[in-house]
Structure 1
């Protein structure tokens, strides 16, 4: 009997030293898990620069505000200077014509009041009546009195420049030809004068000392290239 009493006293002493087991449903440092989630969402929103979404019960019966001063000023002007109350019964804002400063050229109402479709059609007809269509005509042909045709001469020949074909005087020289060619503004004019004076067979002005039929360095190659193309 004495042994049983001693064992019972020891069991009571051990029970007094044992701590209680905490509720597993409660968060650390919070009353419950729902409060923990709400505070966690608020902390995440603060870190991301967002504002927390209020509960539906907090939104009922509140007034909608606008943080943008430009939009808030426009809403205040449309509502007579006061804040805009969020209510389905609010009247539609009044639309002010030409509020953005649109010019008459960009305003359909202003343009339509000045002239109509019939007036535009009449204006188009007047402009078309002033058009002048010029038909292409053939190039005038050169008569014999205008002088030799160096283009036709170039197309009749096929010898290279510097190839002698015609006999020349023994007194002809490059120095004399250079002085004679200096009297013409271009080799084309020298070639025309050379052909008009009996060339290419004759060279009375000493313009073609080598006898190739081309005076003063005139080159028929460009005219021949046009014929080949």
Structure 2
């Protein structure tokens, strides 16, 4: 008996909770909050009204407050071109049942705005550029020069042209040593071509140690000639016997003399 009472109490509690549960919204609703079928019917009614040229809104669609059921188009401003409803229909465009003429608006200007808000004309790219020569532009040159003026300009340039004649190499002040330029021009053998006999004992280490004491190969060649070179090599700066000390090369001097 007690179990039956307990089951009855539980049953009434479940029923009471179910009654308090809110209704589940319809998941099959269509666009917006209305039923999709009602939305389709409203759309069909609206299209039919537009095709008939009527101004009555379809069912389910209201008219904004303060407006009547028919809408009028404001007349175009004086002197402004208009397009009539007949012209729209002849072009295959819908008129919405209103044959009133529509004003033609001018296109919006695409000119840029300056800091004051007024439009400014675009400046062509490259106009007023300076520092670029147009001597290769036939149109630009022919516009400012003639054959006679060009000939006069060439004559002036030739008259101002100065040819510098080569002169003798100046004597180095404070130096009474051998002239390596004169020595280079007096030789004809290539670098590394043996002309003089040299001792091969400890030649490489002696050569590296001696050449490291000179700031340049020119100074090494001067000292080499001053100490009896090229016939003698007391310091070991010319181990291959070509007459040129510490990688000194007479080729640049020979080329200058030939030119």
Asked if TM exceeds 0.5, the reply is no
Relative contact order (C-alpha < 8 Å, sep 6+): which is higher? Answer: 1
Higher helix share: 1
TM-score, normalised relative to structure 2: 0.35
TM-score, normalised relative to structure 1: 0.39
